Structure 1
Amino acid sequence: MSLDDLETDVELAYDDLDDYAFLDRESRQELAMLGAALDADTDELLRRAIHLLFQSTTESGRLDFHLRSTYDVTYDEYLSGMTFDEMTGGTSVQQPDDDRRYQF
């Protein structure tokens, strides 16, 4: 394969992104390049991107920062269904909601 083949594949992938009109031009171009280079479905690339963003946000502590700022809880507290105070006996404990027990 050559540079011309890559350019053609990226252009074709870009043209296939009509359903993603919410993306800006740069994001569409990057998504087209990833689709061509990785030979992956666009929906699969978006799923991977979400997982990667979630993982990096969680590992860096930014998720906990934003959760604490907005909801006054951390991700661990969300997963356990109780706050740190409730875990240590500081307040009354409610039964955890098992639907929220997503393990990262």
Structure 2
Amino acid sequence: MVVNLSDYYINLTLRNDELQLEIDDVREKVDSGWKIFRWNVYFFSKDLGTWSESIEKCKEKKSDLVSVLKADEQLYLNTEVRKNKFCYWIGLRKNKKKRNGVLWLNGMEATTT
């Protein structure tokens, strides 16, 4: 097997640059009030508005309404909501293909556990 070290170095350098941009983005978000839990970053907005308006505000921040996929994430979010004493929109919508079904905005089916 032959590996072109020059190409390998270039690919590593490009990946490093991409990761540095992601790190800078997370730092900027944390500095402006976002909170980190596990591998996700959350913004708890106090802005009032409709669900659709909230989606648009998320897009402006290059983000989405939350999709709660794990029990520990749900516990964390419940704790934050109680602590903040405020209500928040989440990324849940009706599944038009399935009666009484709901989907997260990321397309995953919502389940109860």
TM-score by length of 1: 0.28
Larger radius of gyration: 1
TM-score by length of 2: 0.27
More helix per residue: 1
